[in-house]
Amino acid sequence: MKQINQFNGKKVLVLGLAKSGLAAATLLKKLGAVVTVNDGKPLEENEAARTLQAEGINVICGSHPLELLDEGFEVVVKNPGIPYSNPIISSAVMQGIPVITEIEIAGLISEAPFIGITGTNGKTTTTTLINEMMKQDGKGTVLAGNIGEVASEVVQRAKQDDCVVIELSSFQLMGIQTFRPHIAIITNIYDAHLDYHSSKEEYAGAKMNITKNQTEEDYLIINADQEALLSMADSSQAAVIPFSVNQKVENGAYIEEGTIFFQEEAIMHTADIALPGNHNLENILSAVAAVKLSGVSTEAICHVLKTFAGVRHRTQFVREWNGRKFYNDSKATNTLATKSALTAFKSPIVLLAGGLDRGNGFDDLLPYLTSVKAIIAFGETADKWKNTAAKAGISLFENADYMNDAVEKAVSLSEEGDVVLLSPSCASWDQYKTFEERGDIFINCVNRL
């Protein structure tokens, strides 16, 4: 960890706790800052706040009083989930007080270079692939960000010859000033998080912040199949490395005649990849580009791609039983994610779906249900799924009360050669605390068969 002085003696407000706020407050105190923490949860219910208070940090809990800014803070470190419309944040911006997220601090103290991954879809899978490929090749690597530990904790132990592989959200990237990854990846950009960002342009601009401090010594890996992204990359100072699943690209990663290439070098045949789905080819190409630029051997890349079956809860292969293959895609909490999962398979599919009713229907999935032979629905949206099944001409339909019931019915409606896919298209909160809990229960039910 680099020893820096820029926070020494400065008054810093940490707004919002959770894991990133707790880590930032602790680190800032270590760096000599005079830290005040403000969190909305009352102190008696706030273990993290009580921990910081015991360490001598000033803690204000239960509300976000606007007069806090009268105390003369020189920096505000905000939790990424707090929008810029928050009164304290908007007031700080108006007063010219720098507002950052904890990854900015992580970048300042890290001795190790960063590979930063952002985008609308595919971030977690791409990040995991890069980490696995680098580990397979014996390179020092640590996971950080949304998929791993808080960045400002990880970098304190990362060595100079390590690499910090970090998944980055638009929320985090809006709060950087000097953060500079050596290799940056933008997997793709679609409309998302418009309840947080004021416009699609602001959202895309936040994603592009990943390259704003890069120099000609750095690399920006981008999806060449998105023209808008290519145009935006023109403003980057980094060497642009394209990837494409649809065309050969110069100096980048692409697929030609069923083979993955990077800069004219054949890597492996796509038929040998364990990870299912055409949508995952984008993730694979961007990961291959990143690790080849990092000196990872083709042998290590091939080993991972032949054995890596997916990130937990994201089209994750669970098990084959009596000729049926079971996949857990519990992370699919909207129809866009389920579309990707459905197009990943050529075999007949028994689909397990349903969950929290947010008022939307599922008719936009109709063109993607052609391989679905049966639907088993649960939760608040079960009746909507029944209507969708009827419109799709799917006669095999069952309601299920709970996941064990759904898995038993999937077994009875499936046969050898079929795929049983949990891809709910809905949030889990009507029956489960999280999508992870829903997926774990599915996995347990399948493993008990």
User: Where do runs of H (alpha helix) occur along 396-447?
Assistant: 403-413, 435-447
Retrieve residue 124's tokens: 């977690």
DSSP conformational letter for 195 = T
DSSP conformational letter for 271 = G
Same-domain pairing of 47 and 165: no
Same-domain pairing of 246 and 124: yes
Helix (H) or strand (E) holding 227: helix 227-233
% helix / strand / coil in the chain, to the nearest 5? Answer: 35, 20, 40
In a domain, 5, yes or no: no
- How would you list the strands of the sheet with 316-321, edge to edge? 316-321, 324-328, 419-422, 349-354, 372-378, 396-399
Query: Residue 158's domain is classified under what CATH number?
Result: 3.40.1190.10
Same-domain pairing of 92 and 122: no
Domain boundary among 100, 125, 159: 100
Total domains in the fold of the chain: 3
Query: Residue 420's domain is classified under what CATH number?
Result: 3.90.190.20
Task: Compute the distance between CA of residue 342 and CA of residue 370 in angstroms, rounded to an integer.
Answer: 9
Same-domain pairing of 96 and 108: no
Domain boundary among 56, 77, 100: 100
pLDDT at 106: 96
Residue pointed to by tokens 């800032």: 28
Same-domain pairing of 351 and 382: yes
pLDDT at 293: 98
Q: What is the mean pLDDT of each run of 10 residues along the chain (449 residues)?
A: 94 93 95 96 92 94 92 94 90 95 96 94 91 96 86 94 94 92 92 56 85 98 92 94 96 97 97 87 97 98 92 88 96 88 93 92 95 97 97 97 96 97 94 94 97
Can you say which residues are annotated as belonging to the binding site for ATP? Answer: 119-125
Same-domain pairing of 263 and 388: no
Residues 6+ apart with CB under 8 A from 306: 268, 272, 273, 274
For the chain, how far is it from start to end, CA to CA, in angstroms?
Answer: 49
425 close to 365: Cβ distance less than 8 angstroms: yes
Same-domain pairing of 299 and 329: no
**Is the pTM here over 0.85, yes or no?**
no
Same-domain pairing of 333 and 395: yes
Which residue segment(s) compose the domain that 364 sits in?
Answer: 316-447
Task: State the chain's maximal CA–CA distance in angstroms.
Answer: 70
Residues 6+ apart with CB under 8 A from 295: 137, 139
Can you say which residues are annotated as belonging to the binding site? Answer: 119-125
pLDDT at 225: 94
One-letter amino acid at 26 equals T
356 close to 426: Cβ distance less than 8 angstroms: yes
Residues 6+ apart with CB under 8 A from 405: 378
Neighbours of 258 (CB within 10 A): 9
Query: Residue 71's domain is classified under what CATH number?
Result: 3.40.50.720
Could you tell me how many helices (H) and strands (E) the chain has, helices first?
15, 20
In a domain, 4, yes or no: no
In a domain, 3, yes or no: no
Phi, psi (deg, nearest 5) at residue 324: -100, 140
Same-domain pairing of 220 and 96: no
In a domain, 197, yes or no: yes
Helix (H) or strand (E) holding 128: helix 123-136
Domain boundary among 100, 132, 147: 100
